[in-house]
Structure 1
Amino acid sequence: MNSELVSRIKETAQKAAEDIHTAVPGKIVSYDPAKGQATVKPVMKYTTKGGNILDYPQITGVPVVFQQHMGQKATIGFPVKPGDGCLLVISEQSLDYWMYGQETGTNLKFDLTNAICIPGLFAPANSVVAEACEQDAIIADVSGTRLTIKSDGLIQADCKKFVINASDSFKVNAGRIDLN
């Protein structure tokens, strides 16, 4: 009898856990940079109680993560476009208070509508990331225009045009500039 009870408890717990969302891959459908929110389509399927396999619906109003620090005075921004891959992290509580500064009376735990989008999840891997790992460098590459910062102190810009805007005088110490 004890083993049957333990088996039923495990079965009940397993069924409950199947409805808890934590993190899933997704694709950006649209992005509103003024709001910092995206519409995202989870890239996974679910099975209904009737046995039908369906796509998850789009999720709207999903906040998008960018590296921002110092009260948003230090930010790394990049374009977010439809079709971009992302990781949806599902909050264990409603995001309403964080997003709007007030409770809205929702009590949705681990619900897909409380997702946060981290852009940049793609399969297969990107060759630029592989190259950065090989060179022990940070590489910013936009369609071949590239800035490489290497661990030995070298900063290399591969581009058609290079502009420096400086409000004070600009000096190059022990450096070189090659012009073609």
Structure 2
Amino acid sequence: MDRRERVNDPEVALREALDGYRAGIWTALPGIVQSFQSAPGRSPTCSVQPAIKMQVRQLDGTIASVALPLLVDCPVQFPSGGNCTLTFPVAPGDECLVVFASRCIDGWWQSGGVQEQAELRMHDLSDGFVLLGFRSVPRALTDVSTATAQLRSDDGTTYVDLDPAGHIVKVKAPGGIVLDTPTVTVTGVMAVQNAGSASTAFSINGNTQFTGQVRANGKRIDDTHAHSGVQPGSGNSGQVI
């Protein structure tokens, strides 16, 4: 028995009643993703295990700490707007924050738009939204840039870095970069530096068209270049002038 039940005090009784009422109101909980579901024509959802246990009074009056039930089919929030979305490969073990709607979301989830409440439940575990990116200390993200915005891997080896002060975008991709596009337009000067061990710094496979001067090692190699040591006959010309 709760010792407050032994006190004949209306205020204590009211506080206990309010505590019991608040215990059934769910607002937000940290969670751990158990599975992620994404299929054509279906918004992505995931199953989440709440990461905080609940204390439950047993029949004998003792308090037991029990795990909350698995939260299934929780809509996943990806940053989105204006027909653009930033997605992530959600994986089991990812930590998150589950936010519970104040009213039943079933009608909206099924049909979109403005819908009637399918049930009159409030702040229920059945109406959770999953917000990604929240982390506990053991899974903290290290070496977070304090001066630039990054889209990065957790280990920091691969990233796209935007520097608002220097107006520079830097890309680091140890595995390479693939551009699948019919046209690439560069409006400024493109400098290629072979910082690795590859024998060729720049390679083109296919027809190449240039407008303007083309130089190699300081020598013009376009349609106006000239050669030294030219003599009529079958011999080869000399070096490019």
Please tell me the TM-score bracket, short chain as reference.
Answer: 0.7 to 0.9
Percent identity, please.
Answer: 20
Gaps of 5+ in 2: 1-8, 196-241
Partner SS state of residue 78, structure 2: coil
Deviates more, 1:160-169 or 1:74-83: 160-169
Q: Partners in 2 of 1:5 and 1:78 — Cα distance?
A: 53
Gaps of 5+ in 1: none
Normalised by the size of structure 1, how large is the TM-score?
0.85
Q: Partners in 2 of 1:177 and 1:165 — Cα distance?
A: 20
Residue 105 of structure 2 is matched in structure 1 by: 95
One-letter identity of the residue aligned with 2:127:
N
**1:169–1:146 distance in 2 versus 1, CA, 3 Å:** closer
Match of 2:118 among 105, 119, 125: 105
Residue 239 of structure 2 is matched in structure 1 by: none
Residues 1:122 and 2:118 aligned together: no
Aligned length: 172
By relative contact order (CA 8 Å, sep 6+), the higher-ranking structure is 1
Q: Partners in 2 of 1:177 and 1:20 — Cα distance?
A: 60
Higher-helix-fraction structure: 1
One-letter identity of the residue aligned with 2:126:
T
Residue 150 of structure 2 is matched in structure 1 by: 139
Residue 45 of structure 1 is matched in structure 2 by: 53
Query: What CA deviation, in whole Å up to 9, does each residue of 1:129-152 have, x standing for no partner?
Result: x2x22xx21112225222111112
Query: Over aligned residues, Cα RMSD in angstroms?
Result: 2.1
Partner SS state of residue 130, structure 2: strand
Deviates more, 1:102-111 or 1:155-164: 102-111
**1:14–1:104 distance in 2 versus 1, CA, 3 Å:** closer
Deviates more, 1:81-90 or 1:165-174: 165-174
Match of 2:167 among 148, 153, 161: 153
Residues 1:54 and 2:66 aligned together: yes
Normalised by the size of structure 2, how large is the TM-score?
0.65
